[in-house]
Structure 1
C-alpha cells in the first residue's frame, strides 16, 4: 500500500514546512507514519488544480484555497481537506461530502483569540487609542482634549453572528456593563438565553448599537450583510468592528459612510480584497484601524490549531472520525475511503 501523503498549501508555508504561523508540529505527522510536503514550486497562488492534488491523500490548507466538487472529483486520491482555522468559505463542503471527501477545521483554537481581538478593537475605539497615539507621536498635545473616548459602560454592543466566536465575545464583554444584542435567529436563541443576549431585528441592531461586531461566517446570505442600508441605519457615533470576513461588509459603502461622517469609525482585521490595494482609502483614515487578517494569530491559537489539525489528519488517515468534521454525512455507515488513483 502506498504511504499516506499530506500536501501542505504553499500560500502560507515555505518548502521546509515552516509556516507564517511558525512551527505547527508537522513532525507529528511523520511520527504517525504519514508523509508530508509543501506543494512544489509554490503551488498555485490562489487555487489548487487537479494535477496538483493528484499525488495527495489529504491537503492541509493554511490559507483560503478554494475546493469545489468538480476539483476533487478530478483528484480521486484525495480524501480529506483540513483547514487550519475556523473559516471554510470557498470550500463546497456539501459537494466534497458527495465525493466522499471530508472537510475539517479548527474552530476551538480560533474562538478565544478572535473574541479577544474583537474586544481589543472595541476598547481601542472606545478610547480613540490610535488617534490619541498619533497626537502624542506628533507632539500635538494641545489637541488631546479633542480626542475624548466614549467609554464602554452603558453602551450597546450588537454582535452579528452568535456562534462560537460571537458567544465568546458576549462572555468577555458582559462584565463591562454593556447591553448586548444580536439578530433574532432560531439558531441563536438557546445561546442568547444562556448568555443574557437580547435578540432583536437586524434593523434594530443597526440602529441601537454603539458598536457592531461582525463574527459571522461568510455565506451567500451574509455577503455584504453590512451594506449602505445597514450603515444608514446606524448612529453617527457608532463603530463597526469586523473580525469575520471582509466580504461581510460592502467596503465601498463603508468607505463612503466614513467619509460622510455617517458613522464614527471602524476597526477591521479583514478586508475585501486581501491584501488591499496600496491606494485603499480605509488605510489612510484616522478613525479606522486596519490589521492584516492576523490579530487572532496568538501563541495559543497556533498551539491549539496545530494540535487540532494534526489530530484530524491522523484520524482520517487511520479511518477514524475526526472531532471537527463539517459534514457528518461522509461518515454514514463508516468512513468512506476514496479509491486511490
Structure 2
C-alpha cells in the first residue's frame, strides 16, 4: 500500500498549488509518495472522515488536532506543520496516540524576526502617517509626524525563543536597550545575547516598543491585557507577529482610542480574519497586515524544503529534523508503515 499524504485545503488548491506559491509538492511524488488535497475542514478541525486514508498530513494553516481525532484515524502517523506555530495541536495527546508532530522553526526564524523589525522601523518613523500625508497632499502636516526613533530606546521582546533571540541580534546594533520577560530557563540565553531580564510589569513600564514573539499557550493567552497596557508609557507601541490570542484586543483598542499608548503594529489578530466591524481596522495609529508579513520568497523556499523533507523522512522511517513530541519517535517508528 502506497504512503499517502493529505494536504490541508485551507491554503492549497486541488492541483497542489498554494497561496504560498510553489512549495515543491512534486518532491513527494518523486519520493514515491501519493498526495492529494483534503476536503475543506468545517470549523477549526478536520473530521475523522477528512483524515481517513492518509499516513501523514501537511497542515498549512492552524487546524486543530486532538487525541480523540487521531485515535479515530489509526492510519495517521504524522502531522507536519508548514510553519512554526502549533497552538491547537495536542502534542501530548498525539504522542500518546503514536502520532508524530513536526514543524519548521529554523526556516521561519529569520523571516518572522524581520517582520517584527519591519513593523518596529515603520512605527518608529511613523511611516504610515507620513505616507497618508504625502498621498493626500498634506505636505504642510509633515512636521506633525515626527517619529519616536530608536537610539537610546528600550525594546521589550516578550518570548526570547528562536524568533525572539534572532530579533534581539537584529535590533541590538540599532542603539537600543533590549529586555525580555522573566520565565523559566531564560537567563542563560538572555545573558548570551546581551539582553536584560525583567518582570513582565517592569518590561511593560520601561519599554518604548513591546514586541511579542512568544508561543500561544494557556498561560500566555491575553498576556497583554488591560493591566499590562496600563503599565505602558503613553508614547509606547505594541508589535505582535506571534499569535493574536496573546493580546486582549478589546483592551488594546481601548488603550489606543483613549491615547494611553501611541500605536500598534499587528500581523496577527484574534480571530482571523477579523470581522468587518473590528474597530482596530479603523485606527490610524495601527499598522495591520494579514498574518502574511513574513511570506517572502525566502520564507516559502526554506519552509517548503523543511516540511517536505520532514514528510519524506517520516515516510521512510527516518527521524525528521524538528519533532515537537520527540519521545513518540521510537514508538512511531515501530508502528508507522514506511513508504514502499
TM-score (norm 2): 0.97
With over 3 angstroms needed to count, the CA separation of the structure-2 counterparts of 1:11 and 1:45, relative to structure 1, is farther
Matched position secondary structure for 2:50: helix
In structure 1, C-alpha distance between the alignment counterparts of 2:11 and 2:53, rounded to whole Å: 20
Unaligned stretches of 5+ residues in structure 1: none
The alpha carbon displacement at 1:337 in A equals 1.8
In structure 2, C-alpha distance between the alignment counterparts of 1:333 and 1:134, rounded to whole Å: 58
1:165-198 superposed Cα distances (whole Å, 9 cap, x missing partner): 0001100001001000001223211210111000
> Where do residues 103-118 of structure 1 align in structure 2 (5 Å cutoff)?
103-118=101-116
2:211 to 198, 213, 217: 213
The alpha carbon displacement at 1:278 in A equals 1.0
> Where do residues 107-256 of structure 1 align in structure 2 (5 Å cutoff)?
107-256=105-254
C-alpha contact 1:227 1:253 (8 A) present in aligned 2? yes
Matched position secondary structure for 1:55: coil
Moved over 6 A (4+): none
1:110-130 superposed Cα distances (whole Å, 9 cap, x missing partner): 100000000000000000000
In structure 1, C-alpha distance between the alignment counterparts of 2:308 and 2:335, rounded to whole Å: 19
Question: Cα RMSD (Å) of the superposition?
Answer: 1.2
Are residues 1:34 and 2:33 paired? Answer: yes
1:63 to 61, 64, 68: 61
Unaligned stretches of 5+ residues in structure 2: none
With over 3 angstroms needed to count, the CA separation of the structure-2 counterparts of 1:333 and 1:89, relative to structure 1, is closer
Matched position secondary structure for 1:296: coil
Alignment length, in residue pairs? 338
In structure 1, C-alpha distance between the alignment counterparts of 2:104 and 2:177, rounded to whole Å: 30
In structure 1, C-alpha distance between the alignment counterparts of 2:331 and 2:272, rounded to whole Å: 41
TM-score (norm 1): 0.97
The alpha carbon displacement at 1:109 in A equals 1.0
C-alpha contact 2:98 2:331 (8 A) present in aligned 1? no
Structure-2 residue corresponding to 1:279: 277
With over 3 angstroms needed to count, the CA separation of the structure-2 counterparts of 1:334 and 1:63, relative to structure 1, is closer
